[in-house]
Structure 1
Amino acid sequence: MSLTALYEQIQQSDTVDIPQGWLQGRTIYGGLVAGMLMQKAVLAVADEGKRLLSASVTFVGPVQLSSVKLTAEILREGKSVTTVEVRLWQDGAVQSILLASFGAQRESSIQVSHERAAPDYPAVEDLQIAQHHPLAPECFKQMQMAWAEGQYPCTAAQQPDFGGWFRFDPAWHENREMTVADLMVAFDMWPPGVLPMYTRMAPASSLTWHLTYVHPLQHQVQDWFKYKVFTDYAGDGYSTEYAHLWDAEGRLIAISRQTVTVFA
């Protein structure tokens, strides 16, 4: 099932069948879960005059390859901002929650442009697209990723963090206009920043994820984007990190902050 077909299913029914190809270990990849929640939020808001401002996701429990139920509640609908909560249910329990704010543009005398500049990476054609390791999560096949700095996961690196280019793999995803649901699906595909420090294969998973949407998407699904992650702190089985996403022209699209559970 394509993402387009999945989004159509979300529009037609509260109960959705999760497609094949998105496993991350024994559970479903969190980015796909976040994308489903966001698609439900967009449908619930149903206001083209309001664009996504920010979203917070809490991954309460593991989501299995089975049907799920999505419920949405508008918490407040103001003139400028609408706040919506979406929950994903499986087997009668809440497994993930999204809280998102959508806002209309307003006149303001305050203008600040201190966005972090995009890194000057080599052209993606001059880099090697990472091959899917047999022990890597199944969901990685959905994307093309080219490391431009830092080390690969599980290479016993002395320092965390990395960056590079990525996009939806054209072999799996037809080209079309990219949506904010697609953004959620794509943005979370990079592994946690501490994974290069792992000395062996071991799990790590997002616990909470906050995303700030900066410049609106004007892109196609198969367009390349730049990504860079920075780990603030890691210890006692958790890490906290932030990451930036730019388009190929260097426009800052989104900023994320995550709390990650570390099993190494």
Structure 2
Amino acid sequence: MTGFAQVLAAAERHDDGWELEVPESWLQGRTAYGGFSSALALAVAQQAGGELAPLRSAQLAMMAPVNGKIVARAKVERQGRNATWISAHLSSGAGMAFAANFVFMRPTANTLEINDRPLPDSVVPLDDALPIPADALTVFMRSHFDVRFGMPEADRKRPEMCWWLRSRDHGRLDPMVELMLCGDGLPPAVIPVMPQPVPISSMHWQVNLLTATPQSRDGWWLLRSTGDYAQQGCSSQGMGLWNAGGEPIATGIQSVALFG
């Protein structure tokens, strides 16, 4: 299997972007796994921006299938005193497939301190969490990640998903790129309560980073998504990510299309 670090190393890098082939082991149906596309867009943006402040926010739009031979490009949109905005997109022969906007910002002094992102009440500690059977995972997930259940079995029948997850490329990637690669690892939160399986597709993902230096024991992250809306083919879910010590690392919201 081709790991993400190998994908980056094999990319043909030109002045106007990177060219690469999406390995089949990273596909989720017709398109690359969303974390793959997000992490790739961030890696290209980091190169375009030179020496950047830490990533603090990302907007990620999954517009069309990302597969086969693709081109990744990025552009600095604005360079301010404290923050830099960079856009990135992935395209194929059929046109643009994925678009991203990233904000990189240096820490600044402020008088307000709020940190109210506690761990979910029923989280299973990492050391006690059971591995998810390989046959219950998608091909890309069992090929590139280690995954454990993050909540008791009795709690897995709500519009909620919670897993412990680690990239097998841990330690071989930029920490923010590794975080983006892992951050979209959960299936949509509404899956446990759906009456029957239907095709689904992520459409838009907003991520806010709560730290400039994401770190966790042995590369493990706790991911949680909670569905709060599903009507007329659209669903919305809140998302959170913590490290193995229970410290909040990222928060977000995602829209997911339900085709049935």
Query: Aligning the two structures, in what range does the TM-score lie when normalised by the shorter sequence?
Result: 0.7 to 0.9
Per-residue displacement from partner, 1:74-110 (whole Å, max 9, x unpaired)?
Answer: 11111111101111110150000001111122232x2
Q: Distance in 2 between matches of 1:223 and 1:235?
A: 36
Q: For residue 219 of structure 2, give the secondary structure of its aligned residue in structure 1.
A: coil
Q: Distance in 2 between matches of 1:201 and 1:184?
A: 27
* C-alpha deviation, 1:58, in angstroms: 0.7
Q: Give the 3 Å change call, closer, same or farther, for CA 216–11 of structure 1 in structure 2.
A: farther
* C-alpha deviation, 1:27, in angstroms: 2.0
8 A contact 1:129–1:145 mirrored in 2: yes
The corresponding residue for 1:88 is 90
Q: Give the 3 Å change call, closer, same or farther, for CA 176–105 of structure 1 in structure 2.
A: same
Any residues of structure 2 matched to 1:177-188 within 5 Å, and which? 178-188=174-184
**Counterpart code for 1:16:** L
Larger fraction in helix: 2
* C-alpha deviation, 1:232, in angstroms: 2.0
The corresponding residue for 2:28 is 24
Q: Distance in 1 between matches of 2:29 and 2:222?
A: 26
Per-residue displacement from partner, 1:152-179 (whole Å, max 9, x unpaired)?
Answer: 9xx9x4x31132322124xxx3644652
* C-alpha deviation, 1:220, in angstroms: 6.6
Per-residue displacement from partner, 1:104-159 (whole Å, max 9, x unpaired)?
Answer: 22232x2222321123533333222111236x53111122222232769xx9x4x3
The corresponding residue for 1:243 is 239
**Counterpart code for 2:124:** P
User: Identical aligned pairs, as a percentage?
Assistant: 23
Q: 1:60 aligns with which of 52, 58, 63?
A: 63
8 A contact 1:192–1:260 mirrored in 2: yes
Any residues of structure 2 matched to 1:107-118 within 5 Å, and which? 107-108=109-110, 110-118=111-119
* C-alpha deviation, 1:211, in angstroms: 0.4
| Structure 2 unmatched ranges of 5 or more | none
The corresponding residue for 2:150 is 148
Q: Give the 3 Å change call, closer, same or farther, for CA 117–177 of structure 1 in structure 2.
A: same
8 A contact 2:61–2:98 mirrored in 1: yes
Q: Distance in 1 between matches of 2:257 and 2:152?
A: 21
**1:101 is the counterpart of 2:97:** no
Q: Distance in 2 between matches of 1:123 and 1:104?
A: 33
Q: Give the 3 Å change call, closer, same or farther, for CA 174–244 of structure 1 in structure 2.
A: closer
The corresponding residue for 1:129 is 131
Q: Distance in 2 between matches of 1:256 and 1:88?
A: 22
Q: For residue 21 of structure 1, give the secondary structure of its aligned residue in structure 2.
A: helix
Q: Give the 3 Å change call, closer, same or farther, for CA 223–44 of structure 1 in structure 2.
A: same
Q: Give the 3 Å change call, closer, same or farther, for CA 77–85 of structure 1 in structure 2.
A: same
8 A contact 2:167–2:178 mirrored in 1: no
Q: Give the 3 Å change call, closer, same or farther, for CA 78–229 of structure 1 in structure 2.
A: same
**Greater shift in the superposed pair: 211-220 or 225-234:** 211-220
**1:212 is the counterpart of 2:208:** yes
Any residues of structure 2 matched to 1:213-228 within 5 Å, and which? 213-219=209-215, 222-228=218-224
